[in-house]
Structure 1
Amino acid sequence: AAATGDDFFRSLARHAAQALGARYAFAAETLSELESRSLAYWEGTGFGEGFSYRFLGTPCLRVSQGHVCYTKSGLRTAFPEDLWLQQIGADSYVGVPMRNAAGKVLGHVAVLHTAPMEPSQDDINVLQVFAARACAELERVQAERALHTAMQELQRLRDRLQAENVYLQEEIRSEHNVDQIVGSDPGLSELLDKVTRVAASDAAVLIHGETGTGKELIARALHNRSPRRDRPLVKVNCGAISAGLVESELFGHVKGAFTGALARRVGRFELADRGTIFLDEVGELPADTQVKLLRVLQEREFEPVGSNQTVRVDVRVLAASNRDLEEAVREGRFRADLFYRLNVIPLRVPPLRERRSDIAPLAMYFMERSARKSGRPTHAIASETLCRLADYDWPGNVRELQNVIERAVVLSPAPVLEIDPLLLKPAPAVVASSTTPPAKSATPEDATALEEMERRHILSVLERASWIIEGSNGAARLLDLHPSTLRSRMKKLGISR
């Protein structure tokens, strides 16, 4: 009773022959209206090899059409075209169809003997019971077979998708993919066309865009395509410097200029002489520093903190902000004359949700880089994961995508990357860009949700960095924050080990 598949059909064929005292018996599966194949064949002393046959000219033809048929004797004479009957010397035959609950004939059970055989109604009933059980098992086998075929097709499609992903990975570097800028979205292509046109100029550029959109990459592209490319690109995160040290960071200081100034410090503008300086989050600069920055832009000169000596520099200024600086000007938080000096050429970096076609290439790029860096064997991304990545709104933009992929590569046990759907829940609120006004005023619930999202994100990065905050592998570096800024955020969000 516990036998299934081939073992079941063999047992059934043997017991069917024995029940009628016959030498031969077989169970067969109908392949079409014209053809069948054996599931098991008992030939008296053992099991014979499987076979296929066409119904025409055989005693099984009417059985395959749903009829119970038998021939008491003279079988070879009644079916002279059936050479197999001649070979085995069969003289009598009983056939019962396997009919499922819907009435469809899936196969049949046949018993043959070398002598005359006159089956009773009880014999027919026994064979019909055998046929009903065989039909149920055959349905199970066919369902299992169909499932196996479907799984093979699914695997074939997955293999094809993985190959396409690998090909996509190789094709990521399109005509605009330079300086690690990945993508071919029309909005990004238009931006990069502008970058190419204005790179050769010394005019100031103000790059607008949400946090994590890649404003620094745009600044680097401007520098690398400019005549100043052989000189340094000096980066300053204005939002990561405490207010009391901003001027010293930008313009330097002399020894003794303030408590702790034990030696002369060269400022970032001086370091960038004949090169380019990139002022990220320029909207965070204090008001008095804005005055000195305006003078640098107008006169190309400044005095270090504590000095009366003027330092002249030849610097191209690139600035970036995720805030609406025009609004800041109207509110008096940012100088209008400085804004106009910085905003000679405005560039807007689109958020990731506006260039969804670039999500898959970006994910493949970050996966390849992370896998190479960590020595992981990951080489493709599951199709379900790519769909989830494309559907997610990415409030943290490209930087969030990069962090999600890097984490997944480190934690993935398989060569095909899969990401927990819980990590990609739709964002409850979207941070408005500097050029996109919010659809409605932020509610306290929105702010709470955003803080919780930020808290989870910082926690995940801290765990990845083993709770090390500073250093090249520290959480602050991974989050692109100053260590003191990260500590401040941790304190505000109640994060502690």
Structure 2
Amino acid sequence: MSSETLLCWASVNHGPQVLSGALEALAGHGHSIERVLLLVQEGREVPEDLPQHPRIETIAFAVADPTDHATLYKILREELLPQISALEEPLHVNISPGTPAMHAVWLVLATGGAFPPGTRLWSSQRPDPEGPARIAPVEFAPTTWLSALRADLAQTPQRAAYDPEALSAVRRAALDRLARYARVPGVPLLILGERGVGKTRVVESLVAKLKGDRHVVTFSCGHLKGEGAEALLFGHADRLQHKASAADKGLLHKADGGILFVDEVQDLPRDTQRLLLPVLQGRVRRWRRLGETEQQGAKFDLVCASNLPLAELEKTLDPDFFDRIAHLQVELPPLRDCPADLRDDWSRVWRETGFPGEPPWSPTLERALMEARLPRNIRDLQRLAAIIVSTRPDGPWPVSLQRQALEEWRATGASPPGDFGTGTRKQRLHWFQRRLALWAKERYGTWQAAASELACDESTLRVDAKGEFPTESK
């Protein structure tokens, strides 16, 4: 039997008997539990006379009201899941100890695919205090888009995609909006965000799943110009046989039934933008390959992405083309505006790199990430992971080496001085006001609390956060 882990709340009544009974019953089902993670409500004493077991680890959680569903869910999402996300051994969860609210939260987490793949839920009972304990598997696993997406992400840990159920309010709002917009068929979707926020990852994971596991054909506009871009998109006829070979049918043809993802759309040549306008007019996309007169047709959804602010993108693109692709807009916030998600982001990046062991975490590292500007977002985390591996010996990560790695990381651009956006003075002030408003809302929880802390009107912060980019002063 392989090593396995049991997770459960400490039972208020008959705690030792409940735990020992669950261990005995699981052994009867052929499960060798070598590690127990026992969750204890902060302020309560650890149950006495726990069963003789080589590894019982207690984890205290500050839960004032164990009947509050929202608080239980938030604490487990933010504090427990990061600790168990990297478990390699099979995980079992006994959902019986605890309040009915706790039972419901276990089921919601499992239904959403939050636990490591292969986790099993159990319900334990001892109808007769003198009789043997019983335990039965909880067969409750409805498939939701969230659980299906998490299952896919678990199969590809090398892709550090965002958890769609983000902890930061600004990221959660953006991903919720993305989830709504991605379900609208036939309407182009525009995704904005700084370099390195993961726009491509979001399209290839979240958007593709929401559109029914559609395949994604990616066209990066920064690589080709002029006729090269047109030939790649539309395809072209063979010069000798005057018809397109399979290799020359173009990306529009390959996207049939799926998603055409146009990355760095600001670099798409204007002539090509004009040629694409007729393609975007109907649900069935129609075009002609270069060198052919016969019209082609395909069905696909269009998703575009850019790292430019919306107002600058509008000036850069052809006006008609911009109008066609910008009906539905989502801006992914930078990592520095999502402090509650930084630990999850860091863990995913560490796993993506394939480095051994659990991702390092300490108060020193947490403080460094919170204080950094992270101008390159996920790429800054990737660089930090590489620096850590270069300094980290086998075993614990000493504080001296933590500081060395973080100093190297900061010196190579994690927190550049003078980061005040781009554009004119007015535009940079606006950029700062928006970041300040979003940060204050995230930091203090509500617009009212943020306004009180900054000694301003709540309406002022809400207006600042809308992010309508001002034009230059005449």
Deviation at 1:166, TM superposition (A): 8.7
The residue number in structure 2 matching 1:283 is: 266
Distance in 1 between residues matched to 2:196 and 2:276, nearest whole Å: 25
Q: Which structure 1 residue ranges, 4+ long, deviate > 6 Å from structure 2?
A: none
Distance 1:325 1:194, change over 3 A: closer
TM-score, normalization by structure 1: 0.49
Secondary structure of the 2:428 match is coil
Could you report, residue by residue, the CA deviation over 1:440-487 in whole angstroms, capped at 9, with x for unpaired residues? Answer: 99xxxxxxxxxxxxxxxxxxxxxxxxxxxxxxxxxxxxxxxxxxxxxx
Secondary structure of the 2:368 match is helix
Q: Does 1:389 align with 2:303?
A: no
Q: 1:423 aligns with which of 409, 422, 425?
A: 409
Distance 1:314 1:416, change over 3 A: farther
Q: How does 1:357-368 map to 2 (within 5 A)?
A: 357-368=340-351
Q: Which amino acid counterpart does residue 188 of structure 2 have in structure 1? A: A
> Which has the higher Rg, Structure 1 or Structure 2?
1
Higher deviation after alignment, 261-270 or 179-188: 261-270
The residue number in structure 1 matching 2:82 is: 168
Q: Which amino acid counterpart does residue 162 of structure 2 have in structure 1? A: I
Q: Does 1:315 align with 2:305?
A: no
Secondary structure of the 1:274 match is coil
Distance 1:280 1:423, change over 3 A: same
Distance 1:281 1:271, change over 3 A: same
Secondary structure of the 1:240 match is coil
Distance 1:433 1:306, change over 3 A: farther
The residue number in structure 1 matching 2:389 is: 409
TM-score, normalization by structure 2: 0.51
Residue ranges of structure 2 left out of the alignment (5+ in a row): 1-58, 61-77, 87-112, 115-145, 154-160, 432-474
Secondary structure of the 1:347 match is strand
Q: Does 1:181 align with 2:162?
A: yes
Deviation at 1:209, TM superposition (A): 0.7
What is the number of residues matched between the two proteins? Answer: 270
Distance in 2 between residues matched to 1:406 and 1:187, nearest whole Å: 28
Q: Does 1:398 align with 2:383?
A: no
Q: How does 1:405-484 map to 2 (within 5 A)?
A: 405-409=385-389, 411-416=391-396, 418=402, 419-425=405-411, 426-430=415-419, 432=421, 437-439=427-429
Deviation at 1:352, TM superposition (A): 1.1
Q: Which amino acid counterpart does residue 422 of structure 1 have in structure 2? A: E
Deviation at 1:242, TM superposition (A): 3.8
Distance in 1 between residues matched to 2:184 and 2:223, nearest whole Å: 29
The residue number in structure 1 matching 2:309 is: 324
Counting aligned pairs with the same residue, the percent is: 25
Q: Which amino acid counterpart does residue 427 of structure 1 have in structure 2? A: P
Could you report, residue by residue, the CA deviation over 1:370-406 in whole angstroms, capped at 9, with x for unpaired residues? Answer: 3xx24x3454323312211221000001232233224
Distance in 2 between residues matched to 1:271 and 1:316, nearest whole Å: 12
Residue ranges of structure 1 left out of the alignment (5+ in a row): 1-158, 442-497
Distance 1:233 1:405, change over 3 A: same
Distance in 2 between residues matched to 1:264 and 1:341, nearest whole Å: 29
Distance in 2 between residues matched to 1:263 and 1:218, nearest whole Å: 29
Deviation at 1:295, TM superposition (A): 1.7
Q: Which amino acid counterpart does residue 202 of structure 2 have in structure 1? A: I
Distance 1:390 1:314, change over 3 A: same
Deviation at 1:347, TM superposition (A): 0.5
Could you report, residue by residue, the CA deviation over 1:232-271 in whole angstroms, capped at 9, with x for unpaired residues? Answer: 11111112334441112211222239xxx99851211111
Q: Does 1:249 align with 2:227?
A: no
Instruction: Note if contact 1:382-1:416 (Cα within 8 Å) is conserved in structure 2.
Output: no
Could you report, residue by residue, the CA deviation over 1:122-170 in whole angstroms, capped at 9, with x for unpaired residues? Answer: xxxxxxxxxxxxxxxxxxxxxxxxxxxxxxxxxxxxx99xxx9996243
Q: Does 1:215 align with 2:129?
A: no
Instruction: Note if contact 1:184-1:358 (Cα within 8 Å) is conserved in structure 2.
Output: yes
Deviation at 1:432, TM superposition (A): 3.6
Higher deviation after alignment, 265-274 or 415-424: 415-424
Distance 1:165 1:385, change over 3 A: farther
Distance in 1 between residues matched to 2:215 and 2:190, nearest whole Å: 19
Deviation at 1:416, TM superposition (A): 4.5
Q: Which amino acid counterpart does residue 353 of structure 1 have in structure 2? A: R
Instruction: Note if contact 1:165-1:364 (Cα within 8 Å) is conserved in structure 2.
Output: no
Secondary structure of the 1:394 match is coil
Deviation at 1:336, TM superposition (A): 1.2
Q: Which amino acid counterpart does residue 417 of structure 2 have in structure 1? A: P
Q: Which amino acid counterpart does residue 224 of structure 1 have in structure 2? A: K
Instruction: Note if contact 1:254-1:263 (Cα within 8 Å) is conserved in structure 2.
Output: no
Distance in 2 between residues matched to 1:236 and 1:416, nearest whole Å: 43
Q: Which amino acid counterpart does residue 267 of structure 2 have in structure 1? A: E
The residue number in structure 1 matching 2:255 is: 272
Q: How does 1:90-109 map to 2 (within 5 A)?
A: none
The residue number in structure 2 matching 1:77 is: none
The residue number in structure 2 matching 1:306 is: 291
Secondary structure of the 2:208 match is helix
